[in-house]
């Protein structure tokens, strides 16, 4: 009985880890910043992804968790971003929750 409980616990932990990994990749983009437009609460970075898709990434202090996580991107930088993605008829958008990397 004890081994069965341990086995089930291990399976549930593995399933949780795999689902988190899948969600993590699904809500992330990587690409080159091609334009910046400043707004009231932050800015929007136009990012051309490695798959040649354009995303409008909204970056604000509040959405990234405070000033310690907020970074100002520049045109030409290679970035990786994570957040909430949605699409309109003609555009891809992201509310950035994390700036993963800047190169």
**Arithmetic mean of pLDDT, 20-28:** 61
pLDDT band at 23 (very low <50, low <70, confident <90, very high): very low
Q: How far, in whole angstroms, is CA 5 from its chain's centroid? A: 36
Strand partners of residue 56:
46, 93
Is pLDDT of 35 > 80? yes
Residues 63/64/66/69 CA torsion (nearest 10 deg): -160
CA–chain centroid gap for 41, Å, is 19
How far is it, in rounded angstroms, from Cα 83 to Cα 10?
Answer: 29
Q: Which helix (H) or strand (E) holds 18?
A: helix 2-26
Domains of the chain: 26-102 (2.40.50.140)
Interval 55-84: pLDDT, tens = 999 999 999 999 999 999 999 999 999 999
């Amino acid at each position: 009985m004890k081994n069965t409980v341990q086995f089930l616990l291990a399976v549930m932990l593995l399933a949780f880890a795999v689902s988190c990994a899948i969600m993590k990749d699904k809500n992330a983009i990587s690409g080159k910043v091609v334009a910046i437009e400043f707004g009231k609460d932050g800015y929007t970075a136009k990012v051309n992804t490695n798959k040649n898709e354009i995303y409008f990434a909204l970056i604000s202090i509040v959405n990234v968790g405070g000033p310690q996580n907020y970074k100002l991107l520049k045109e030409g930088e290679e970035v990786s971003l994570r957040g909430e993605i949605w699409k309109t008829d003609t555009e891809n958008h992201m509310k950035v929750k994390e700036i993963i990397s800047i190169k």
